[in-house]
Structure 1
Amino acid sequence: MSASNSGSDDLKGSPDVTMMGMEPSKLAQKKNQTLVLIPQPSDDPQDPLNWPMRKKLIIFLCICLAGFGGQMSPNSNQLTFVLQIPTYHKTQKDLLNSVAAALAGWVAGPFLIAPWAAVFGRSAVIFWSLVVTFFMQVWAGEMTGQNDFIPFTISRLIAGLFGVIPAILGAGYIIDMFFLHQRGKAFAIFEVLIIFAVVGGGTLGGFIADKKPWDYVFWWTLGPVGAAIIAVFAFVEDTTYNRASPHLNRPHLPRSWFANRVATFLPGTRTQPRGKGKELVSRATIPFIITFSPIQLLVGTYIFIALGLPIMQASTLAIYLQPPEMAGGYGFSPLQLAFFTFTAWVGIIGAQVFGYLFNDKTPLWLARRRGGTWHTEYRLSNTILPSILLPIGLGIYGAGLQNHLHFMVLALASFLIWFGALLALPVLYNYIIECFLNNPVEASVSLNAYRVAFGLMSVFIVTEWQEAVGVGWMWGMGAFFILFVDLIMVFVIFKGHVVRQLTVHLSKGLAVTEDGAKVALKKEEAY
């Protein structure tokens, strides 16, 4: 097996190293230590770990585009829903409920649709989900009549159900194609891009609505969604591979490009081994088991608060900034509101750069410092900084709204909120998926429910909550909620291994990790 087939950049130019008969491709040189490739690639060229890095990156980038296009579509009117009030003759709260319908689809869709990957394969489910999302955007753009509010809201619900699917199934591709020491970067890029779609879609919609009718915020999304459909069909291959029992893998697909595409997407059943019905039932029930497992309850609670509050901030931004100053707002136009969201863009991009540089480096440094043995909790060291920044950002945001401070104070708060949230999200996704290594998609389904649930709930309670305690204390309470879940995170960092052992017993053996593996060896030990 060649180094290039292993798909590891770390192997390029490394010296010939062996360890107890281990092939050179299964080790990577790191200064005075040798990095062991985890998981160990098989000798089968069909094993995605053995694919060239170029092929892996093409598939990964296509999945990223699919996740971005699908995620941005359901809530593409999150900054412009106020403009729809005259069309439908509805209240602001009614239009906010249309945004909530998309969020409800985000929660329910993975539980209902993702299990069908067991029958049709991940690639086919992603492809057809994007097709449905495309037509839902067309439907929403056509709903410009006075009596079209209910059909419009239904289109948002269905767009949410299907638009979220690429973001959920993408975790499986990362686990299938990348080694442990590469996943942190991959999750940083993927998850940050998914959240960037939530914010960026609204921003671009705001720019468009400043010059065009509000329905254009749906029409422009057909470009990225259509591009994702073409990219997925042209380049994405099935990556499922049973390394423990290779004889259980499905037969090889045709090598001809067109025949391979037909087998993969029309309808895709050939990408999956036998026993599809039993596997469908299993994949439909496993997310619920993971959702209520001890380790997921702890980490999920952190995600519920730490990611739910930023979603609440993005969903309600127009409520605070668009009303005139005499009504307590800032009198922002859709264009100004779109410019304001660049503060979140900067935070998200900054978090992506930080995550790319440190989400793998920091935990691997800890592992090397402690004898080279891997412990999954090392991933969580990168949650310390966001745990500090998030409550500060929320506190500043609440104080700024309460005292009607200059909008640049709110801009600073928005940056801190999104920078902190997007530092934490990829790390926590990576951690939980590595706690349930054999079920990355099902773990992602569960994580998504925790991530979106608070944002969905807040849409229905934000008005009453604010009336009860005031806008300042509403966001101030959010800051204290973060401090509470920070304590949970500290507990998981130090005692997560104990909770995972309990999870193994209660989750019917689903909790499979790489804990205890040697990720780094001293140079003299590698010979």
Structure 2
Amino acid sequence: MALGIIEPKGEARPPGTEYLVDTAQTSTEHQYEHSHFKHGKGKRAHIILVPQPSDDPNDPLLWPTWKREAAFAFLFFNCILFAACPGPMIAPATVALAKQLHVPVKHVAELSGYQLLIVGALGPFVSVLAQKYGKRPQFLVASFFGVIGTGICIAGFDQPTLHKSYDVLLAGRMVQGIGTTAFESLSVAAIGDMFFLHERGLRTALLVLTLACLSSFVAIIAGTTFQHLGARNLFVILLPIQMFGMAGVFFFLPESQFRRSDVATSSSPTASSAVVVPENEKASGNTITEDATTPPTPIPKRTFLQDLRLTSGTYTAIPLPKLLLSIFLHLFNPAVLWIQLVSAILVSFFVGTAYTLAQIFTPPPYSLSVAQNGFFFTGALVGGILGVSAGPLCDFTARRLARRNGGVYEAEFRIPVCGAAVVMFAVGWFVWGWALDEGKVGLGPMGVVYLCSFCYGCVCFGTSVASTSGGLYILDAFKPHATEIFILQMMIKNFLFYAFSTFVNEFAARGPGHMGRVFGTVTLCGFVACVPMYVFGKVNRVWVYRMWGRYLGEK
């Protein structure tokens, strides 16, 4: 048993169990020569690179630092523009926009709900197309439809009747949903394509920040913009920025999917071939050591213009229907059910509550304006930014536990960080319930607003930590299937978002404090699943890979 993790029977070493750190105990206990492996350089020279890169200079793991960082920068930027921005843009103005369009508040919430329904429904198709033809075409198509959807939303405010305006606006929001799907579901998997295990923590946390928490920053800006410039100008301002993001995808986000040889896919004793280090990568903290005995690779390096091609062929011979079915077969994997519980469901609580904030705080005794409703999200913004610390914390915990485990890293070492999320969720939801039910007497209306904003920030922090921990676990434990699993998570999450848009306003109207306590109770009960997931996770990994080997006809 490795630090509480039950070992499976037999000698199987599933992906997610890797030699990560050089220690004196490792060499003696596991009896293999670490010099066979490719290591980091400089301060990271003791880190074994996971996965082991190939000898192909076009391997995304071997891209020059500027190329990898530029690709990540536009991935991060476009996750904000196409995934984080559209949903919360109208959240602070839910009540005001309902009055402007002469529709019930519920119908305004459904402008976001139907958009998210489209995102969830398209998820499986984006997944199979990404597996078959790569991620770059999906990002390009998504950014194009995101721009078109925003243009339709602008046109919605120029219609002759209010009824027509609502219908066109709804159509635009649904087209925006097409632009959201790829960025929300493929981005974390793309990090696994381009970065080594020890480099993923901070970047995954930043993407979680955009997908789960930067919506708060959008809401702050949107509330003030709506109050001073009107709803139409929200989309007018967004459009040129999205066009810039679309250009960035075309020029700086090459295909990250790669057909990696089986010889160098993991840090195993047989992966002894070394790689030639590109000249512009020397002296970089991300580079790897050279082996003078290995001749230079004859594979030509692609040029910048060659990277601009729209597609790069096919990446699997598995038929599309079989790939589509495989997405739903992941529901038999307990780890997938666990991440739905600690990530998808919890994020849906956080986002679902956003549908109700204007409803709660616009009427007396709080009487917040649209701009003030936007500023309420400041707590969540701060909580989300602090939640980025989950990434480095996950990496630190992984290295520390790997050293204690004789240099061997287990994917389950990502899970203990969830303990910090449990504490913050408990504070956030239960203090929220108390403040709205009993806090007005002692704190006054504005005191309740400030306290609830703080509580919402605690929930946002917990959401960031849990989503980062869960995402890194899936990326490390089930990297070959990460795209399908993240798609499944995104699909379920967005279906939940849509479901919340149909009833959460009525739920909050019957008692927002009670709503917070219900969310808090379900959250704490759900996190109990982290214990068996940690203890039995490795046994589960062995079982899952055997099951998939049989399904795909592999030996």
TM-score, structure 1 length as denominator? Answer: 0.84
Counterpart secondary structure, 2:408 = coil
- 2: CA distance, partners of 1:57 / 1:259: 19
Which residue among 206, 222, 236 is the counterpart of 1:205?
222
In the alignment, does 2:382 pair up with 1:368? no
- 2: CA distance, partners of 1:272 / 1:28: 34
Q: 1:182-208 deviations in whole A, cap 9, x for unaligned? A: 111221122212223422222221111
In the alignment, does 2:142 pair up with 1:129? yes
Residue matched to 2:47:
35
Change (3 A) 1:253 1:320: farther
Which residue among 94, 103, 113 is the counterpart of 1:90?
103
Which residue among 347, 353, 361 is the counterpart of 1:307?
347
Counterpart secondary structure, 2:150 = helix
- 1: CA distance, partners of 2:112 / 2:190: 29
Residues 230-269 of structure 1 correspond to what in structure 2 (within 5 A)?
Answer: 230-244=247-261, 255=302, 257-258=304-305, 260-261=307-308, 263=309, 265=310, 268=311
Change (3 A) 1:56 1:338: same
In the alignment, does 2:163 pair up with 1:147? yes
- 2: CA distance, partners of 1:214 / 1:56: 37
8 A contact 1:363–1:379 mirrored in 2: yes
How far does residue 336 in structure 1 lie from its aligned partner after superposition? 1.0
Residue matched to 1:223:
240
Counterpart amino acid of 2:515? M
How far does residue 345 in structure 1 lie from its aligned partner after superposition? 0.8
Q: 1:479-511 deviations in whole A, cap 9, x for unaligned? A: 110111121112212222233334335445689
Residue matched to 2:114:
101
- 1: CA distance, partners of 2:484 / 2:386: 29
Q: 1:124-152 deviations in whole A, cap 9, x for unaligned? A: 21012111111111111221241222232
- 1: CA distance, partners of 2:386 / 2:54: 37
8 A contact 1:386–1:421 mirrored in 2: yes
Residue matched to 1:50:
62
How far does residue 331 in structure 1 lie from its aligned partner after superposition? 1.1
Residue matched to 1:4:
none
How far does residue 279 in structure 1 lie from its aligned partner after superposition? 4.8
- 2: CA distance, partners of 1:451 / 1:509: 29
Which sits farther off after the overlay, 149-158 or 36-45? 149-158
- 2: CA distance, partners of 1:504 / 1:194: 29
Counterpart secondary structure, 2:409 = coil
Change (3 A) 1:502 1:453: farther
Q: 1:307-358 deviations in whole A, cap 9, x for unaligned? A: 2211112222111112232xxxx21111111222111110111111x12431
Residue matched to 2:454:
412
8 A contact 1:110–1:161 mirrored in 2: no
Residue matched to 2:419:
384
For structure 2, the residue ranges without an aligned partner over 5 or more in a row are 1-20, 23-31, 265-298, 441-447
Residues 97-496 of structure 1 correspond to what in structure 2 (within 5 A)?
Answer: 97-118=110-131, 120-144=133-157, 145=159, 146-148=162-164, 149-244=166-261, 255=302, 257-258=304-305, 260-261=307-308, 263=309, 265=310, 268=311, 271-273=312-314, 278-325=318-365, 330-352=366-388, 354-403=389-438, 405=440, 406-466=448-508, 470-496=511-537
How far does residue 425 in structure 1 lie from its aligned partner after superposition? 0.8
Q: Which protein has greater RCO, CA pairs closer than 8 Å, 6+ apart?
A: 2
TM-score, structure 2 length as denominator? Answer: 0.80
Counterpart amino acid of 2:134? G
- 1: CA distance, partners of 2:43 / 2:303: 40
Counterpart amino acid of 1:302? V
Q: 1:422-478 deviations in whole A, cap 9, x for unaligned? A: 11111111112323211222121012134334333222222443466x322221011
Counterpart amino acid of 1:372? G
Counterpart secondary structure, 1:147 = helix
- 2: CA distance, partners of 1:259 / 1:243: 19
Change (3 A) 1:79 1:279: farther
8 A contact 2:353–2:504 mirrored in 1: no
Counterpart secondary structure, 2:47 = strand
How far does residue 253 in structure 1 lie from its aligned partner after superposition? 9.5
In the alignment, does 2:101 pair up with 1:65? no
Which sits farther off after the overlay, 252-261 or 286-295? 252-261
Which sits farther off after the overlay, 81-90 or 499-508? 499-508
8 A contact 1:70–1:165 mirrored in 2: no
Residue matched to 2:18:
none
Counterpart secondary structure, 2:257 = coil
Residue matched to 1:15:
none
Counterpart amino acid of 2:518? M
Change (3 A) 1:487 1:233: same
Residue matched to 1:519:
none
Change (3 A) 1:23 1:494: closer
Counterpart amino acid of 1:494? V
8 A contact 2:37–2:49 mirrored in 1: no
8 A contact 1:196–1:348 mirrored in 2: yes
How far does residue 254 in structure 1 lie from its aligned partner after superposition? 9.1
Change (3 A) 1:274 1:501: closer
8 A contact 2:117–2:498 mirrored in 1: yes
Change (3 A) 1:434 1:83: same
Which sits farther off after the overlay, 206-215 or 46-55? 46-55
8 A contact 2:434–2:513 mirrored in 1: yes
Residue matched to 2:445:
none
Counterpart amino acid of 1:478? F
Number of residue pairs the alignment of both structures matches: 478
Change (3 A) 1:257 1:41: closer
Which sits farther off after the overlay, 372-381 or 19-28? 19-28
Counterpart secondary structure, 1:164 = helix
Q: State percent identity of aligned pairs.
A: 20
8 A contact 2:70–2:252 mirrored in 1: yes
Counterpart amino acid of 2:47? L
Counterpart amino acid of 1:364? R
Counterpart secondary structure, 1:79 = helix
- 1: CA distance, partners of 2:534 / 2:263: 35
8 A contact 1:307–1:452 mirrored in 2: no
